[in-house]
Amino acid sequence: MKSSTSALTISAVGIVYGDIGTSPLYTMQTIFSNEYGLDLTHANILGVVSLILWGLIIIVALKYVTLILRADNRGEGGIMALMALALESTGKKSRWGTSLLLLGLFGAALFYGDGVITPAMSVISAIEGLNVATPNFSSYVVPITVVVLIALYSFQHRGTAGIGKWFGPIMVIWFLALATMGVINIVKAPGILAALSPFYALTFLIDRGWLAFVALGAVVLAFTGAEALYADMGHFGRKPIRYAWFGIVLPALMLNYLGQGGLLLTDPVAAENPFYHQLGSWSIYPLVILATVAAVIASQATISGTFSMTKEAISLGLLPRLAIVHTSVKEFGQIYMPLVNWAQLVVVLAAVIGFGSSAHLAGAYGIAVTATMLITTMLTFFVIRFSWKYNLFLCIFSTVFFFIIDITFFSANILKIMHGGWFPIALGLFMFTVMLTWHQGRQLVFQNLLTHAIPLNDFLTSLFISPPPRVAGTAIFLRAASEGVPHALLHNLSHNKILHERVIFLTVHNREIPWVPFNERVRLTGLGNECFQLDVFYGFKNEPDIPQALELAANTGLNFDIMETSFFVTRQTIVSRSDHQMSIWREWLFVLMSRAARDAADYYRIPSNRVIEVGSQVEL
């Protein structure tokens, strides 16, 4: 058990903390850049370092590692799981339901914006170390960054099962290097240890006023990646993530930020890139190599997180079905989504080429992160109040405490909207529109199906008054919960005028929980005359697999021979009504997504040679 926890802790260092672990590459450099107008005075350096240290303690250690990690949705974390937990806590018919859904949707949408900025920012910051070695490399930074990113995304289809085991040890080396460099520079300027006192952070905020507020927009760069530790809870568990943070990551980060502060006290010229000046010119090339590897690992974690987030959104009915490739037969959850992968690469490359440097990208970084932090705080209130039943005063106090911190950082980042902050916001708004359109469009389609549905039980009763000829084998008709009699059955009876000797109506239910255990996965209801209703339940982390569900159905008394079974699937074509229930452009977007969606048989892993598709039109 101890060895397992240790292994998970090392793995968590690699996957969970890659983003926040590469923040020292650019945070101090950005804060003291000309854009923020902070002079390299003794008081400013101590104040900034103190702000970073206490931000790591309050925001990451206290809020996320101590509090938010407790808000697990049956072992899972992340904005989607938190939204589902908040909705479950308040009840589906609660007056808060729509607001919580929209909050969760927007938080998830912002994750996509952050998912684009993280690889761009991390990799270009690492490669920029070449500029410190010699200015002659400056024109090659962007091309090298583009090559590294293309190679990274091109590798995704192979999965990380083979190399993923090295992520943890490599990042441990990275954090040891951060700590070592920090200690070396602290020894040279021990006065920087005064920054451990929150007094300097408070004094800096009070004395510098507006300049300090503006600087918060860059200080928050030290906390990017805090959401990742919550999102990855399902992969590693609460304890390994906490052990990794308090045992390795937090000490290394604090030492390195103190070290960079100490370096600036003794050598103000190093402000152009404090990270790569920590050990002198001899260390630049080795650090560039190590930093690039660390940045690639941090980017890999973000890319994998985007795949997982998209899969969850599909399961919750927020995005259309997309192609999902499982890259490992041993490692659960290792997936690759081609459309998501290449679309993200295009946007990441656009960010790298368009912004051109980490200094410019820094303006785009932070706003999506702080907005997500703010949404997490608000959703958590409903969990601790309605699920954990905490005292109302305690719930309000803790929420207001973190809300003030989050809104302050978010407000400081709003100032950067015209300097790049618009980019992740635009991406987030685009994804929010896509998800909301798909969610509302599906609801309208289901309402239309329900309106025109023929009740299944009544239909079967009338059908068997004068039954059609029955042929050998099993017919499985996929039907939505609101569909009534499947169109495929009506077409089969109309054209073939036969019925199989055993008929199964199969309905997939996506529940707003991460996992549905195998013993609760299927439910069988007899309808008479060898007709059955088979309900299959999945959580948003489960892998939809109809053949596997049929194997589970054997426990209910139904046995299936796949070669004697035909699957009838209705392919719906969405058409607009004359009285538009959504704006025309959103109807167009929904129809476009519907046509691009992966067909149900492929998504549910039904053997293609056993599928019969029947078309039908559904008005929107």
| Cα distance between residue 514 and residue 312, in whole Å | 9
Helix runs in 421-555, H state only:
422-452, 456-463, 487-495, 546-552
Token pair recorded at residue 36:
């923020």
Highest mean pLDDT among 36-40, 114-118, 229-233, 242-246: 242-246
Same domain, 219 and 157: yes
Give me 289's structure tokens.
């190599």
pLDDT-derived band at 35 (thresholds 50, 70, 90) equals: confident
Question: Do 198 and 248 lie in a common domain?
Answer: yes
- How wide is the angle at C-alpha 408 spanned by C-alphas 200 and 295, nearest 5°? 80
The reply to whether 82 and 143 lie within a common domain is yes
**Closest to 167 measured CA to CA, from 21, 4, 321:** 21
Say what the pLDDT of residue 187 is: 97
- What does the DSSP 8-state code read for residue 222? G
Mean pLDDT, range 57-84, rounded to an integer? 89
User: For all residues of the chain together, what is the average pLDDT?
Assistant: 90
What digits encode the pLDDT tens for the residues 215-224?
A: 999 999 999 8
In a domain, 425, yes or no: no
**Is residue 189 domain-shared with residue 59, that is, in the same domain?**
yes
Cα–Cα distance list, 372 to 95, 169, 195, 236 (Å): 23, 29, 28, 22
What average pLDDT does the segment 576-585 reach? 78
Give the tens place of pLDDT for each residue, 294-342: 999 999 888 888 888 898 889 888 999 998 888 766 555 578 899 999 9
Helices (H), ranges, 189-283: 198-208, 210-219, 226-231, 233-236, 238-244, 250-266
Per-residue pLDDT at 509 exceeds 80: yes
Are 387 and 465 members of one domain?
A: no
CA distance 241 to 232: 9
Task: Give the tens place of pLDDT for each residue, 350-404.
Answer: 999 999 988 888 888 888 889 999 999 999 999 999 989 999 999 999 999 999 9
CATH code for position 386: 1.20.1740.10
Question: Do the domain assignments include residue 428?
Answer: no
What one-character DSSP code corresponds to residue 76? B
Same domain, 61 and 152: yes
Considering the domain boundaries, does residue 323 fall inside one?
A: no
Q: At 320, list the tokens.
A: 């259309």
- For 524-578, how does the pLDDT look when each residue is reduced to its tens digit (9 = 90+)? 999 999 999 999 999 988 889 999 999 999 888 888 888 899 999 988 777 777 7
Lowest-confidence range among 71-85, 155-169, 430-444? 155-169
Indicate whether 74 belongs to any domain: yes
Domain span including residue 376: 2-314+333-420
Instruction: Check pLDDT > 50 for residue 446.
Output: yes
pLDDT tens per residue, range 175-193: 999 999 999 999 999 999 9
Distance CA 620, CA 609 (A): 31
Residues 74-86 have a mean pLDDT of 85
Residues 447, 452, 456, 457: is their CA dihedral positive or negative? positive
The count of structural domains within the chain is 2
Both structure tokens of 331: 């490692």
- Determine what percent of the chain is predicted with pLDDT higher than 90: 57
Rounded distance, CA 368 to CA 414, Å?
10
In a domain, 59, yes or no: yes
Report the distance separating Cα 28 and Cα 25, nearest Å.
8
What are the tens digits of pLDDT across the range 92-150? 677 888 899 899 999 989 888 888 998 999 999 999 988 887 777 788 999 999 999 99
14 and 115 fall within a common domain: yes
The answer to the question of residue 328 being in a domain is no
Q: Clarify whether residues 490 and 371 are in a common domain.
A: no
Instruction: Give the pairing type, strands 565-575 and 522-528.
Output: unpaired
CA angle 372, 373, 377 (to 5 degrees): 115
Rg, Å, the chain Cα set: 27
Quote the pLDDT of residue 2.
52
Residue 439 lies in a domain: no
- 605 and 491 in a common domain: yes
Distance from C-alpha of 269 to C-alpha of 418, rounded to nearest angstrom: 29
Among 160-169, 470-479, 480-489, whose mean pLDDT is lowest?
160-169
Residues 171 and 218 placed together within one structural domain of the fold: yes
Query: Is the pLDDT at 1 greater than 60, yes or no?
Result: no
The predicted-structure confidence for 558-573, as pLDDT tens digits, reads as follows 888 888 999 999 887 7
Say what the pLDDT of residue 161 is: 62
Last residue of one domain, picked from the residues 371, 397, 420: 420
**Position 325 in a domain:** no
